[in-house]
């Protein structure tokens, strides 16, 4: 099998690359512009006959055609993600996420390939009908608030996937990831909350918790996300489906911060509360709770998450600490 992984030098994408490279007979192509991805994540594959890296823009037609040529499966992970991006550069979020997905769908059609699309729990918006089922209605705020541009771009992408399936019979699967974390995730201001907290603690600074800290999320360790993604690639039952991928155990953001401090062994770094505006400005709205239904993943993929949050955070913190000791920016 020949695979194209867009965003394959990124956090989730590089783990998918590792898994696919382990299987005998696979050929793997990575397309990444390295805007957030890192060549370090895939450097151990350089020089292998069955591996190819192409630095380029997923929205560029010629580059996408070159990367996808002869592929049987396209795993489309490339996107502009991170809440800070939503509120600082919504135009880039909308452009890359919609144009890039359309380009990859067209290449999947051209090559008669299966496309697996990495979507997000953000698609649900601020729905309070929990747990969130894949057929649940979306509830969003006004378009005047930039915070909703990412959710809208990914929902548009999902519509594109189904439109290509309807018109061309294209085998597509949509995975809605819920707060995936783990080694290789970025820790800068544009990263997810786990990475942001870990970087601050490594620097000897307390985690800054927005609002009252009682908002909740469900955190999914990378190995669980990877297992679900590989199952979705392999199983015909996943074709034409949207599937939630996430833990269904709620954790408040304050609890998360406290767990990361415990994992670090630095008890003096007590988390501090700050207003949302101090970090995001005024163009942001938070969601109080976000909990997935994972019944569909159990049924179609025979998948349930296995790694508890305490264990996952400890492993992740150890990776961040080691990366910093080796002089790698996190």
**For residue range 6-62, what is the model confidence (pLDDT) as tens digits?**
999 999 999 999 999 999 999 999 999 999 999 999 999 999 999 999 999 999 999
CB 24 within 8 A of CB 68: no
What are the C-alpha distances in Å from 4 to residues 78, 113, 165, 307, 313? 11, 10, 19, 28, 30
At 85 the pLDDT is 83
Does 329 have pLDDT greater than 80?
Answer: no
Peptide bond just before 99 cis, omega within 30 deg:
no
- Residues ≥6 apart with Cβ < 8 Å to 40: 328
Based on the residue annotation, tell me whether 164 is a catalytic residue of this protein. Answer: no
Both structure tokens of 86: 């939503």
Three-state secondary structure call for residue 128: coil
Q: Which residue out of 11, 124, 150, 317 is catalytically annotated?
A: 150
pLDDT band per the 50, 70, 90 thresholds, residue 283: low
pLDDT band per the 50, 70, 90 thresholds, residue 80: very high
Three-state secondary structure call for residue 225: helix
pLDDT in tens, 181-223: 999 998 877 678 999 999 999 999 999 999 999 999 999 999 9
At 89 the pLDDT is 92
At 190 the pLDDT is 65
Q: Where are the alpha helices (DSSP H) in the chain?
A: 11-22, 61-68, 83-88, 90-111, 149-168, 193-202, 222-234, 253-264, 277-280, 295-301, 309-325
Q: What is the Cα–Cα distance from 103 to 109, expressed in whole angstroms?
A: 10
At 16 the pLDDT is 98
- Concatenating the DSSP letter of every residue in 41-82 gives GTGGGTT-TTEEEEE--TT-HHHHHHHHTT-SEEEE------
pLDDT in tens, 240-264: 999 999 999 999 999 999 999 999 9
Three-state secondary structure call for residue 243: strand
Q: What value does the mean pLDDT of the chain take?
A: 95
Q: What is the Cα–Cα distance from 164 to 154, expressed in whole angstroms?
A: 15
**β-pairing verdict for 216-217 and 251-252:** antiparallel
At 284 the pLDDT is 67
Task: Say what the pTM is.
Answer: 0.96
pLDDT in tens, 101-143: 999 999 999 999 999 999 999 999 999 999 999 999 999 999 9
pLDDT in tens, 137-184: 999 999 998 889 999 999 999 999 999 999 999 999 999 999 999 999
Does 86 have pLDDT greater than 90?
Answer: no
Radius of gyration of the chain (CA): 19
């Amino acid at each position: 099998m020949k695979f194209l992984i867009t965003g394959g030098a990124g956090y989730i994408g590089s783990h998918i690359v590792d898994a696919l490279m382990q299987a005998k007979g696979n050929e793997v192509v990575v397309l990444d512009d390295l805007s957030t991805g890192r060549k370090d994540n895939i450097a151990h594959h350089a020089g292998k006959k069955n591996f190819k890296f192409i630095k380029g823009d997923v929205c560029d037609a010629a580059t996408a055609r070159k990367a996808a040529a002869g592929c049987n499966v396209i795993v489309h992970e490339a996107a502009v993600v991170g809440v800070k991006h939503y509120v600082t550069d919504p135009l880039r979020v909308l452009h890359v996420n919609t144009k890039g997905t359309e380009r990859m769908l067209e290449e999947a059609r051209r090559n008669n390939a299966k496309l697996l699309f990495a979507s997000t729990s953000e698609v649900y918006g601020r729905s309070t009908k929990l747990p969130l089922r894949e057929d649940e209605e979306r509830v969003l705020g006004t378009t005047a608030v930039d915070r909703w541009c990412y959710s809208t771009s990914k929902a548009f992408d999902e519509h594109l996937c189904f439109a290509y399936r309807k018109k061309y019979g294209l085998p597509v699967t949509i995975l809605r990831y819920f707060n995936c974390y783990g080694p290789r995730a970025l820790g800068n201001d544009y990263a997810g909350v786990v990475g942001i907290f870990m970087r601050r603690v490594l620097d000897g600074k307390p985690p800054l918790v927005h609002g009252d800290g009682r908002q909740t999320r469900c955190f999914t360790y990378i190995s669980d996300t990877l297992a679900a993604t590989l199952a979705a690639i392999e199983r015909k039952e996943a074709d034409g489906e949207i599937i939630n991928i996430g833990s269904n155990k709620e954790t408040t953001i304050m609890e998360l911060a406290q767990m990361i401090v415990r994992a670090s062994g630095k008890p003096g770094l007590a988390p501090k509360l700050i207003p949302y505006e101090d970090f995001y400005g005024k163009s942001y709205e938070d969601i109080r709770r976000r909990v997935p239904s994972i019944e569909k993943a159990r049924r179609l993929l025979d998948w349930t998450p296995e790694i508890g949050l305490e264990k996952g955070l400890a492993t992740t913190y150890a990776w961040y600490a080691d990366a910093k000791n080796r002089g790698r920016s996190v």
